[in-house]
Amino acid sequence: MISNGTLTRPSRLAVLGRIGTHIHTLTFKMSHTPETFLPPVINSTTGKEQNFVYMPPSREMAPKIPRYGTWEMTDLLVKQYPPLFHAATDVHAFVRALSSMPNLQHLRINCEGQPPSHRYRRSIVDYALISLRMAVEQAPLSRLDRLSLISIHPAAVLYLQPTMGFGASPASRRRWHQIRHLTILMTSFSYQVGPTDHLKLLHAYLQSFPTLRVLRFHWQGHKGLSPISLATEPWLQRRYNKRAAVCGIPKARVSLRPLRLHTLQEMELVNVTIDASQIASFILDHRHSLREFNLQDIALRTGSWDEALAPLTQLSGSDHWKEAQKHESAFNVPIVLSPAGVSQKQFQRVLQAVDRPRDGSWVLARTRVRDKVLGGPDPMKRLLPVSVLSWR
């Protein structure tokens, strides 16, 4: 938990230097509280609000340059903002602390408690996230491969963005390319009311991890749009095209680049609103790497679960995996994702060997469906209303 002096007291730095090599998991927790709220900066002479454009210090910045851009702004911030703000913007202190943990493997960030009224205001928590991101990029953390964002607010991904974030450099993405496991639990708010910039920021943030193997995403609160299919989200496309027409921008320039995670093996979505076609497209696009796809508390806007899981029939070559649902509500079904040109005899031999050890030349998959039946004419709706679907 960060506080004033956490990263600057000599006694704490000395202890961290002794035990830092043994730290494998670090939890950075800074909750939104009344102490982290930042009021506007007021000019002491005119009484008017002063614009503050934050430029984080770089490695090459000379020590004589004012910390916050100009001497006037630095003087105003020192007088009007609490010591916690200045501790949160001390990037060099963050770098020294993380440099003492060369064996760090898992970074957990918890920024809970943001009030809805503060969603469009920058707080001390946001400045601390900027410093933390820059420290991760500059410290020698060659073993870091796991990142967990726990109870974060939607705007947090702007400050953690290595490409277009505050203080980002061309080398910023190199550290984040190490991440293999990413978990995000994000507070949701209605995408149908107000701006949707937080969804575009989330989409851009996920593009920063091209070598992910495991991605888990949960919306906390009411359901939100699927982060894996924002590029094909009809609701967002209508908003973008309407805005483009007003600004005179061609429609092609406002479209999002599809999310492609070529090494993704495990995906988990919780509390999401999505179309059946979007699930089917994601399965097909990642069929060469994906081994497990967990869906929990999913609301299908359009289509049925038969349509969403149609790629499984296409990849396995038959509807055999559907037959068990007529007899039991929880079942294991073999799904074989095989290369093109495999004979029917080879295919049947693999189906009969489900319980045998895996062969490196084949990808055996099992589909598990949670034992929860709510009834209805559609058999997949009876079996997959909240939908936990996995294959491996």
- Calculate the alpha carbon distances from 268 to 143, 161, 273, 318 in Å: 24, 22, 14, 26
Per cent of the chain over pLDDT 90 is 38
Using alpha carbons, select from 231, 146, 229, 216 the residue that is nearest to residue 186.
216
CA distance 201 to 26: 25
Residue with tokens 């990849």: 315
pLDDT at 348: 58
Answer yes or no: is pLDDT of 373 > 60: no
Note the residue count of the chain. 392
pLDDT at 291: 87
| Terminal alpha carbon distance of the chain | 38
Task: Determine how many CB atoms are found less than 10 A away from the CB of residue 70.
Answer: 11
| pTM as predicted | 0.77
Residue 359: which pLDDT band, with cuts at 50, 70 and 90? very low
Helix or strand or coil: residue 361? Answer: coil
pLDDT at 392: 38
pLDDT digit string, tens, across residues 98-139: 999 999 999 999 999 888 888 888 999 999 999 999 999 999
Answer yes or no: is pLDDT of 250 > 50: yes
Sketch the domain layout of the chain as residue ranges: 18-302, 304-392
pLDDT at 4: 57
pLDDT at 2: 55
Within a 13 Å sphere around the CA of 34, how many CA atoms are in the beta-carbon half? 0
More confident residue, 339 or 320: 320
- Calculate the alpha carbon distances from 372 to 109, 305, 382 in Å: 34, 15, 8
What mean pLDDT value characterizes the chain?
Answer: 77
pLDDT at 293: 86
- Calculate the alpha carbon distances from 127 to 38, 93, 94, 122, 256 in Å: 11, 13, 12, 8, 28
Residue with tokens 């034992």: 371
How far from the centroid of its chain's Cα atoms is residue 325's Cα?
A: 34
Residue 371: which pLDDT band, with cuts at 50, 70 and 90? very low
pLDDT digit string, tens, across residues 261-319: 999 999 999 999 999 999 999 988 888 888 888 889 999 988 888 888 888 777 776 76
CA distance 82 to 37: 10
Mean pLDDT: which of 72-76, 164-168, 198-202, 333-337 is highest? 72-76
pLDDT at 119: 82
Q: Which residues pair with 219 in a beta bridge?
A: 186
Burial of 139 (0-12, 13-18, 19+ CB in 10 A): buried
CA distance 369 to 309: 12
